[in-house]
A = this chain, B = another copy of it.
Amino acid sequence: MPFADAEMLLFANTETDRIHKDFPIRISREKVCMTYPHSHMTTGCKNCSDRSLRIMCDLSGQARVDFEALGMQMKLPKRAIIFQEDDVCDAATIVCMGQVKLSCTSREGKTHILKIAVPGDVLGMGAAISGAHFEVTAETIEPCVVKKIRRSELLAFLEKYGQASMLAAKALSEEYKSAFFDARRLALSGSTAGRLAGVLLDWGRAAAGCNGTDMRFTMALTHEELANLAGTSRETVTRALGKFQKEGLIEIHGSSFRVVSPTGLETLCS
């Protein structure tokens, strides 16, 4: 798993200091699991050791070998921009480690966070396939490892292996689903507190899926960002989180969150 150090230079000129400070060069399996609660990095989790392969898990033989050779793996510091809204798409990106914030911004500067991508997620697949511009901005919220696959290489690969096209289509349909559930939550949940509850519940469930049944995770977002995610204001998030704690639905210690009563949150989602 060689890192593309050349690519690091892209960031080095402005962010060299950060890189070395924020990014632990050697990360043990344990460390990863603590730092990245959403991560599926452990070998036991879904039986797969390299998350960048998740979408292509079902590939067989030469196709898989070829896919593994594809693209360029790179380490990114916190707050690195992977791609920006309206950029021409020249590559798809697979998240191998860390969390990535996907957001879009209105002309007035209002920003909406669509989702937090976790290891195994593919970013910009739709834009890569249809040759369009990105609709969202992708920014790391912690030190990350990603794998960039140039659009031309990706297309050539899909062209060569029809089998892989189907898997790409599946990855796309995941991308679609998350946008859909996002819209659904925004539209159908009656209250802002309900939307926030839904977000916490999703994360709790994701964490439980990885670390057993304990719905504990590290919140990597500020209240402001949570607000952008739930379509509300920072103050409302602060108040809602306070209320959830008072009612015993969640526990918060610093950036460590734990969902105590999933059913309680569930009823709020309405």
Contact = CB atoms under 8 A, between A and B. Distances in A.
How many monomers of this protein are in the complex? 2
Interface in A110-155: 110, 112, 114, 125-127, 129-130, 135-136
Contact of A172 (B172, B182, B231, B270): B172
Interface string A156-175: 00110111011011101111
A73 B165 CA distance: 27
A184 B106 CA distance: 9
A188 interface: yes
A137 to B, nearest CB: 12
Contact of A270 (B108, B112, B127, B169): B108
Contacts of A105: 188
Contact of A112 (B110, B172, B182, B187): B187
Nearest to A183: B183
A33 interface: no
A177 interface: yes
Contacts of A169: 129, 165, 168-169, 172
A105 B189 CA distance: 11
A180 interface: yes
A166 B172 contact: no
A179 interface: yes
Closest 6 CB pairs of A and B: A162-B162, A165-B165, A176-B176, A126-B173, A183-B183, A112-B187
Given A104-B188, A126-B172, 15 more contacts: A107-B270, A108-B270, A110-B188, A110-B190, A129-B166, A130-B173, A135-B181, A162-B162, A162-B165, A165-B168, A172-B176, A175-B176, A176-B176, A179-B179, A183-B183
